[in-house]
Structure 1
Amino acid sequence: MPLILINILGIAGIVVWHFQGSNRPTGRLIVQILFFAGMSSVLYLGGISPQHVDDTNLQGFAALLAKSALVLWWTHLAWTIIGLVRIWLMLNRGPREAHLVRDMTVGVIYPGVALSIIGFVFGMPVGTLIATSGIVAIVFGLALQNTLGDVFSGIALTLGRTYAIGDWIRMKDGPEGRVVETNWRSANLLTAEYNIVVVPNSVLARQALTNLSRPDDTRQITLTVRVAPTQPSFVEQVMRSALQGSTRIVQDPLPIVALKTIDAVAIEVDLLFRIASPADWAAARNEVIDLIYSQCNADGLSLAAPAESLVFASAGTSGAKIVGRIDARSSGAV
């Protein structure tokens, strides 16, 4: 009678679990726990061990009931463990990490339960099977070395939460773009040129990555401007007015105008401002350059020659007099 009851509970649990639907994971988990608890209670009250059934007195249909009861119990055990892990992952991890860890859990639980059924229920030796499987695994591991390297690198990147879907990342010796898709083997990056670059996970794991979306999506840009010598406070005011007129840069926090150096030829200014997204850097930089040029013309501020230019001067009684400039990049003589 306990064996019949376990079979009834196991089959009923499968039917009810199926009618719950995949869109109700909590309901499915409750069904799994209830039916598994009922089957375990019947085993305990009937004095039946899930590791071994004394079938010396069981013949024919009774022996079949015993084996099917234990197979159903081990199957429900696997489903219950996977359901608990799935709910825990949904509550404690992001979708990407949860999906990866869930697949890993399924990959461990099902083979373990299958070996338990073979060894405990049917009494077959599993040591030889495990040894044979190990040899086969070594052969496949050597043949799929690069692919497995990508897989394990993907696991490390996912568990380490280096990046997520939608993050903009920059590689040390590789492309820069937004992560639009990840899988077991690679990550797909959407670059600023709207091209999809497929980067293997092993390459991502070996290189230094800069996540431009952490802690937020804003990105700082530094633009250096050289202007003719004049009152430094006036230069700062002109640059700040130009930055305040931009609609493509972030105004909170406020852009920074840093007077870098000053000499007889120019005042060098660093403009530090942030943009809302790394994809907007070109448009924002173009707008700022246009505003700086217009603001300098409006306020009578002249742009200075580049620092690479060489200046020739003739000494006189009244001081140095500038007579010309030659670009050092286009001339081989000084």
Structure 2
Amino acid sequence: MDMLIHEAARQAGLSKKAVQLYLSAGLLQPQVDARNGYHQFTGEDVQRLQQIRWLRQLDFSVQEIRAMLEDPSAAQYYILKRMTALREEKRRLDWRMAQLEQILEQDCLSPNSTALTPGPEPWHTPLPLDETDAYLIVSCFLGSLVQNVELNEYRRFLWQRLLKVVVAHQTPELAGLRDYIYSLTPEHAGQLFALCRRVVSEIAALPPQKVEEFSGRVLEHLDHNLSSSAAGRLKRRYECFLRPSIRLFDAETCDILREFTPLFSEYQDRLQAYCDAMLHRLQLPENAALCARLAAFFGPEFSPDQIGSGQLTALYSLSLESGKVN
């Protein structure tokens, strides 16, 4: 049964003013009675208001809530981002508690005390990676391959093993990758995840007879992007996002993923065919100038004698310039 805003607010546990705020922000769109202009709220609208109230209690912004409600698949990113922020906050609170306990136990504030020696502040060192971060990183790069896999007991075991392997890569570069992903605006994060899904899905669906044509098109688009205003964004995307991930997907990680889903094996087969075709093209004399530009712009790992499958895959991502992803 439809209801007016006062009743909807009461059932959702919100004030009328809060409901009006969420209406103006576009978080829900109840029907409007054409006779009087009043909003008519349904039970589903009340449920949506309760979801919004819950998310606001967890300190999500209105902008973040809008992004999650518009694209439920993006909710995972915002939840993981919030969990990491809380971990950092907890680390700071734990440090402050430890300092207060030291003051009490050592009587540091007495006139004759010389024991006031603050411990090292935790925010000067990166927050260590944990399985929350590993979940985010794997989902970001390979979400289209793993998101719809039915989890049985063995696959749950493999997934936990995979996360532990990723966590074991405790490098500043990987921590920087996590921080880069979390620094993005909701709009840019959505664009980046869509870009990753596109790279994986298009390579996974690449027919063998189209590999040569596909690799030629990648180089053509890449050459264009390096000469455009997008070049700076491409370099930042490689340095902050793509380069740190290359070492992450090593032999052990790939072995686990092959067991986790046959889709990864199919993806790897197509990826290898793409990499072989790309390497062949880069070694042709007519592409020597492009290779020199790649090595000068992105680093020596892009020279034909050093380039590996990680860099070759990155080239496809860098050829897909949306114009917005930082």
Q: Which category describes the TM-score, using the shorter chain as reference length?
A: under 0.3
TM-score (norm 2): 0.25
Return the structure number with greater strand share. Answer: 1
Greater C-alpha Rg:
1
- Higher RCO, 1 or 2 (CA under 8 Å, sep at least 6)? 2
Alignment TM-score, normalising by the size of structure 1: 0.25
The structure in which a higher percent of residues are helix is 2
